[in-house]
């Protein structure tokens, strides 16, 4: 999902994102952890019932890309699009929180600093 060579030159593999993401997911509360496991199980095994003869992780990278692209644009199944949307949220959330990505984006935590500097009366609650 996050190949190298974009605006952020390193991709998910170069950042060790799969391992970092697995460690983060392992720290989730049991219910959330199990929900993510079901999501990953669905993505891993869905190719077997959709015409491919292999699990997702066994597909060639270009076939993986085509498979995910087809899922995200599926006309008849909102569930397939939703599964992929959740997966993208998890992966891209982890990707943009990496120091290498934050440096390229230029994220400076200014809002967080202002919140820490504000007094309790100055804070706006939403």
Residue recorded with tokens 């935590």: 109
Q: Is residue 46, in this structure, part of any structural domain at all?
A: yes
Q: Is residue 122, in this structure, part of any structural domain at all?
A: no
The two structure tokens encoding residue 6: 């974009």
How far apart (Å, rounded) are the C-alpha atoms in residues 54 and 22?
22
What would the mean pLDDT of 38-56 be, rounded to a whole number?
90
Q: Is residue 77, in this structure, part of any structural domain at all?
A: yes
Q: Is residue 5, in this structure, part of any structural domain at all?
A: no
How far apart (Å, rounded) are the C-alpha atoms in residues 77 and 71?
9
Whether the per-residue pLDDT at 126 is higher than 70: the answer is: no
**124 Ramachandran zone, left/alpha/beta (phi>0; psi -120 to 50):** beta
Q: Is residue 35, in this structure, part of any structural domain at all?
A: yes
Reported as a single tens digit per residue, the pLDDT across 67-120 is: 988 888 877 778 888 888 898 898 888 888 888 888 887 777 777 666 666 655
Q: Decide: 100 and 15 in contact? Cβ < 8 Å.
A: yes
How far apart (Å, rounded) are the C-alpha atoms in residues 98 and 15?
8
Q: Is residue 84, in this structure, part of any structural domain at all?
A: yes
Residue recorded with tokens 């015409």: 51
Instruction: Calculate helix-pair angle for 61-72, 78-96, nearest 10 degrees.
Output: 120
Q: Is residue 104, in this structure, part of any structural domain at all?
A: no
Which pLDDT does position 124 carry in this prediction?
52
State the total domains in the chain.
1
What would the mean pLDDT of 19-28 be, rounded to a whole number?
91
Q: Is residue 108, in this structure, part of any structural domain at all?
A: no
Q: What is the pTM of this model?
A: 0.69
Domain span at residue 75 reads 12-98
């Amino acid at each position: 999902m996050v190949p190298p060579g974009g605006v952020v030159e390193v991709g998910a593999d170069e950042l060790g994102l799969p391992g970092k993401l697995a460690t983060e997911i392992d720290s989730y509360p049991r219910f959330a952890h199990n929900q993510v496991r079901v999501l990953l199980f669905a993505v891993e095994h869905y190719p077997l019932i959709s015409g491919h003869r292999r699990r997702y992780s066994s597909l060639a990278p270009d076939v993986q890309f085509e498979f995910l692209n087809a899922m995200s644009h599926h006309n008849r199944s909102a569930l397939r699009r939703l599964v992929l949307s959740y997966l993208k949220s998890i992966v891209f959330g982890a990707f943009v929180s990496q120091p290498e990505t934050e440096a390229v984006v230029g994220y400076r935590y200014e809002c967080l600093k202002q919140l820490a500097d504000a007094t309790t009366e100055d804070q706006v609650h939403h």
